[in-house]
Amino acid sequence: MSSDETEYTATLEGTEHEFDSIRSVLAKANERKSGDELAGLAASSSAERIAAKDVVSRLTLETLYENPVVSADEDEVTRTIRDGVCEDTYEEIAGWTVADLREFLLAESTGDEEIRALRKGLTSEMIAAVTKLMSNLDLVVAAAKMTVVARCNSTIGTEGTVSFRLQPNDPADDTENILHSVREGLSYGVGDAVIGINPVSDDATQVKELLQATSEFIDRWDVPTQNCVLAHLTTQMDAVRNGAPADLLFQSIAGTERGNREFGIDVELLDEAAELGTNRCLGDGPNVMYFETGQGAELSNDAHEGVDQLTLEARCYGLAREYDPFLVNTVVGFIGPEYLYDGKQVIRAGLEDVFMGKLHGLPMGIDACYTNHTKADQNDIENLAVLLTAAGANFFITVPMGDDVMLNYQSNSYHDGPTLRSLFGLQAAPEFEAWLEETGITDDGRLTDRAGDPTIFTQP
């Protein structure tokens, strides 16, 4: 029997709540999100939301496996996720309920090793379902148990570390301005995840120029990091084929086949890019791909297939894990208040996304950010950064003074990187940490008087 032919009910205080499909009950079990309301998928009341959570808690993992929210016959993301499941592991847990999975993840006896052994038996719908049953603290606790290590030229995700992407965007793609920002970020000890530029121009020649400039800088100062220019994937591939010195290939992805088509990609292109990156990118690897996601992207492209934004976000991670990437980050508040209305919704979504990414086995980071028409401010973003450092996020995106003048949004600042490391007693990626000590930017893991001085990198 398909999910659409099945009724799911829960009775609360004498009132029966009925849901006509897995898709419907998953959507209504979400914490409140403006994007789900915009799509007409959200619970109509707190009582209905609680009833939906009750139904979800009683679903078996087998029911979710057999009823993906988008049919495998119609969607290659669904097929990719199902093909990636370890059948033997799945068979061991197929009879668990979603509540059983939550109890397992939060049990004191469950650690990184136990979760690692289980995750390949999970589909993205299972991971989305258990996320809907968890409080913010649950998400922090469970995510903190999971360690996901990835390597390109540096190694991120090792225990006791947190890394940062240095994002030196410039509204004119001015190479010297970009390098000024790179110098400033490195002088604060950020950039061990990647020096990643969002270009204004989606042009292969321009991409190659930016990659050459950052690559020469990295070589000149022997910085143990990697570069990436976040143009469209096909543009980066053209640049690399023309000799551009890239360490990583980047692409935004969606949780449905139609959503990815709106991004101008499909699984065949991602396969081709992963092969090109392995053979032609300059990073030591083995991880050469970088993906970006964010709740609401499919709805904004009218490609959500009637599925809620949290479940679709989980499916992005199911697609990403097929490519064993070096970096995956959600851009949690960039899409605007139509999808995440205020600081409370942005913080909740950020916690959900990092937890779901790590449970998929991904080196998960975040751009903790907001646009200026969202009811959020810098305190919300700093709160989220503290929570996600506690949750063991692999990396954060940082921009000068927390203000990206090219993309016109607010994020964490270069200064936030060393502050978070100091607060939690963490270090940079091991190779990068050693480099910071050699350059005198840090001493025994603490910033020195040289920190914050970009002229370190202009002296002969």
Q: Is 406 annotated as a binding residue?
A: yes
Give me the chain's average pLDDT, please.
96
- Residue 392 Cα to chain centre, angstroms: 13
Residue 128, in any domain of the structure: yes
Burial of 273: CB neighbours in 10 Å, binned 0-12, 13-18, 19+: buried
Q: Residue 290 pairs with which residues in a beta bridge?
A: 250, 327
Residue 394, in any domain of the structure: yes
Residue pLDDT, tens place only, 91-137: 999 999 999 999 999 999 999 999 999 999 999 999 999 999 999 99
Structure tokens at 131: 């996320």
**CATH code assigned at 313:** 3.20.20.70
Q: Return phi, psi of residue 11, to 5°.
A: -115, 125
At residue 3, the pLDDT reads 45
pLDDT grade for 56, boundaries at 50, 70 and 90: very high
Q: Mean pLDDT over residues 232-242, rounded? A: 98
Structure tokens at 112: 């990184």
Q: Are 133 and 177 in a shared domain?
A: no
pLDDT grade for 6, boundaries at 50, 70 and 90: low
Distance between CA atoms of residues 75 and 95, nearest Å = 26
Residue 2, in any domain of the structure: no
Q: Are 233 and 283 in a shared domain?
A: yes
Residue 283, in any domain of the structure: yes
pLDDT grade for 7, boundaries at 50, 70 and 90: confident
Q: Are 158 and 139 in a shared domain?
A: no
- Residue pair 186/392 in contact by the 8 Å Cβ criterion: no
Residue 1, in any domain of the structure: no
Q: Are 282 and 328 in a shared domain?
A: yes
Q: Among 123, 145, 167, which residue terminates a domain?
A: 145
Q: Are 237 and 250 in a shared domain?
A: yes
Give the total number of structural domains in the chain.
2
Q: Are 196 and 278 in a shared domain?
A: yes
Residue pLDDT, tens place only, 377-409: 999 999 999 999 999 999 999 999 999 999 999
Q: Mean pLDDT over residues 217-245, rounded? A: 98
Q: What is the DSSP string of 265-299?
A: --HHHHHHHHHHHHHH--S--S--EEEEE-TTHHH
Residue pLDDT, tens place only, 411-422: 999 999 999 999
Residue 49, in any domain of the structure: yes
Q: Are 93 and 197 in a shared domain?
A: no
More confident: 72 or 5:
72
Q: Is 251 annotated as a binding residue?
A: yes
Residue ranges making up the domain that contains 366: 150-457
Burial of 174: CB neighbours in 10 Å, binned 0-12, 13-18, 19+: exposed
Strand runs labelled E in 105-190: 150-151, 155-156, 163-166
Distances in Å between the Cα of 266 and the Cα atoms of 153, 247, 298, 428 are: 28, 22, 14, 35
Q: Are 141 and 230 in a shared domain?
A: no
Q: Is 31 annotated as a binding residue?
A: no
353 CB neighbour count, 10 Å cutoff: 31
- Residue pair 304/39 in contact by the 8 Å Cβ criterion: yes
Q: Are 398 and 424 in a shared domain?
A: yes
At residue 1, the pLDDT reads 37
- Residue pair 426/420 in contact by the 8 Å Cβ criterion: yes
Distance between CA atoms of residues 198 and 231, nearest Å = 7
Taking 50 as the threshold, does the pLDDT of residue 5 lie above it?
A: no
Residue 3, in any domain of the structure: no
List the one residue out of 217, 271, 267 whose CA is nearest residue 247: 217
Taking 90 as the threshold, does the pLDDT of residue 38 lie above it?
A: yes
Q: Is 166 annotated as a binding residue?
A: yes
The dihedral region occupied by 112, where left means phi > 0, alpha psi between -120 and 50, and beta the remainder, is alpha
**CATH code assigned at 140:** 1.10.220.70
Residue 13, in any domain of the structure: yes
Q: Mean pLDDT over residues 310-330, rounded? A: 98
Q: Return phi, psi of residue 344, to 5°.
A: -60, -45
Q: Is 378 annotated as a binding residue?
A: no
Q: Are 126 and 218 in a shared domain?
A: no
Amino acid in the structure at residue 282: L
Q: Return phi, psi of residue 4, to 5°.
A: -70, -15
Taking 80 as the threshold, does the pLDDT of residue 219 lie above it?
A: yes
Residue corresponding to tokens 């998928």:
41
Q: Among 96, 127, 145, which residue terminates a domain?
A: 145
At residue 354, the pLDDT reads 98
Q: Is 410 annotated as a binding residue?
A: no
Q: Are 53 and 198 in a shared domain?
A: no
Q: Among 113, 145, 177, which residue terminates a domain?
A: 145
Residues 6 or more apart whose CB falls under 8 angstroms from that of 43 comprise 27, 28, 29, 30, 32, 49, 52
Residue pLDDT, tens place only, 148-178: 999 999 999 999 999 999 999 999 999 999 9
Q: Are 238 and 312 in a shared domain?
A: yes
| Start-end of H helices in 233-377 | 233-241, 257-262, 267-280, 297-300, 309-320, 343-359
Tell me the residue length of the chain: 460
